Structure 1
Amino acid sequence: MFSTIPIIQAPMAGAQGPELCIAVCEAGGLGSLPCAMLTPQTAREQIAAVRSQTRAPFNVNFFVHKPPRADADIERRWLERLSPYYAEAGLECASEAGPARAPFDDAMCAVVEETRPPVVSFHFGLPEESLLARVKATGAKILSSATTVAEACWLAERGVDAIIAQGREAGGHRGMFLEEDIDAQPGLFALLPQIADAVSIPVIAAGAIADGRGIAAAFMLGAATVQIGTAFLPTPQAKISDLHRAALREARDNATRLTNLYTGRPARGLLTRFMREQGPLNRETPEFPLAAAAAAALRAAFEARGRTDFSPLWAGEAAALAREEDAGELTRRLWREAQELLNPVPMRA
Structure 2
Amino acid sequence: MTARRRAQEFCEAYGLSMPILQAPMAGACPPALAAAVADAGGMGASGVVLDSPARIAEWVAEFRSLSTGPFQLNIWIPDPLDDDPAGISAAEDFLGRFGTPGPEQPPAPSFEEQCEAMLAARPRVVSSIMGTFSPEYVERLHEAGIAWFACATTLAEALAAQEAGADAVVAQGLEAGGHRGVFEPETAERTAVGLFALLPHIVDGVDVPVIATGAIADGRAAAAALTLGASAVQVGSALLRSPETGIAEAWAASLEGLAPEDTVATRAYSGRLGRAAPTGYVRSWEAPGAPSPAPYPHQRGLVGRWRKGIPDPAAAVPLDRANHWAGQAAGRAVAEPAADVVTRMWSDAQALLPPGNRDGVERKV
TM over 0.5: yes
- 1:292-307 map, 5 Å: 292-299=300-307
Residue from 287, 296, 303 that aligns with 2:295? 287
Alpha-carbon contact 1:171-1:315 (below 8 Å) kept: yes
- Classify 1:153/1:167 alpha carbon distance in 2 versus 1 (closer, same or farther; 3 Å): same
In the alignment, does 2:102 pair up with 1:72? no
| Contact 2:133-2:164 within 8 A present in 1 as well | no
- The equivalences for 1:182-193 within 5 A come to 182-193=189-200
In the alignment, is the contact (CA less than 8 A) between 1:21 and 1:50 conserved in 2? yes
Judge conservation of contact 1:101–1:289 (CA < 8 Å) in 2: no
Measure the CA separation in 1 of the matches of 2:323 and 2:237.
13
| Contact 1:272 1:308 (C-alpha < 8 Å) held by counterparts | no
Please give the per-residue CA displacement for 1:279-319, whole angstroms capped at 9, x wherever unaligned.
389873222121013223445666999x8653420010001
Counting aligned pairs with the same residue, the percent is 36
Contact 1:68 1:290 in 2 (8 A): no
Aligned to 2:332: 321
How does 1:247-286 map onto structure 2 within 5 Å? 247-279=254-286, 284-286=292-294
Q: Where do 1:19-58 residues align within 5 Å?
A: 19-58=32-71
Q: Structure 2 length as normaliser, TM-score?
A: 0.85
Which range is displaced more, 59-68 or 230-239? 59-68
* C-alpha contact (below 8 Å) 1:149/1:195 kept by paired residues: yes
Alignment of 1:312 onto 2:323: yes
Q: Which amino acid aligns with 2:69?
A: A
Contact 1:109 1:134 in 2 (8 A): no
- The answer to whether the 8 Å contact 1:24/1:31 transfers is yes
* Contact map agreement 2:285 2:293 (CA 8 A) in 1: no
Equivalent-residue separation in structure 2 for 1:101 and 1:169 (angstroms): 29
Tell me the equivalent position of 1:218.
Answer: 225
1:331 aligns with 2:338: no
- Aligned in 2, Cα 1:308/1:143: closer, same or farther, shift over 3 Å? farther
Q: Per-residue displacement from partner, 1:204-244 (whole Å, max 9, x unpaired)?
A: 00000000010011011110000010001000111310111
Within 1, Cα distance between the matches of 2:296 and 2:118?
A: 24
- Out of 224, 236, 242, which is 1:235 matched to? 242
Residues 17 and 280 (structure 1 numbering): CA distance in 2 closer, same or farther, change over 3 Å?
farther
Kindly provide the amino acid, as one letter, of the partner of residue 342 in structure 2: T
Cα distance in 1, alignment partners of residues 198 and 172 from structure 2? 8
1:137 corresponds to 2:148: no
SS of equivalent residue, structure 2 residue 212:
strand
**What residue in structure 2 maps to residue 123 of structure 1?**
129
1:15 equivalenced with 2:23 (yes/no): no
Q: Could you say which residue in structure 1 is the equivalent of 2:352?
A: 341
Letter in 2 for 1:51: R
Structure 2: which 5+ runs fail to align?
1-9, 357-365
Q: How far, CA to CA, are the matches of 2:52 and 2:349 in structure 1?
A: 38
TM-score (norm 1): 0.89
Query: Relative CO higher for 1 or 2, CA cutoff 8 Å, sep ≥ 6?
Result: 2
Contact 1:264/1:287 (CA < 8 Å) preserved in 2? yes
CA distance 1:37–1:221, shift in 2 (3 Å): same
Q: Compared with structure 1, are the counterparts of its residues 302 and 28 closer, same or farther at alpha carbon in structure 2 (3 Å cutoff)?
A: farther
Change (3 A) 1:12 1:63: same
Q: How many residues align?
A: 337
Partner SS, residue 210 of structure 1 = coil
Q: Displacement, 1:59?
A: 0.8
One-letter identity of the residue aligned with 1:113: L
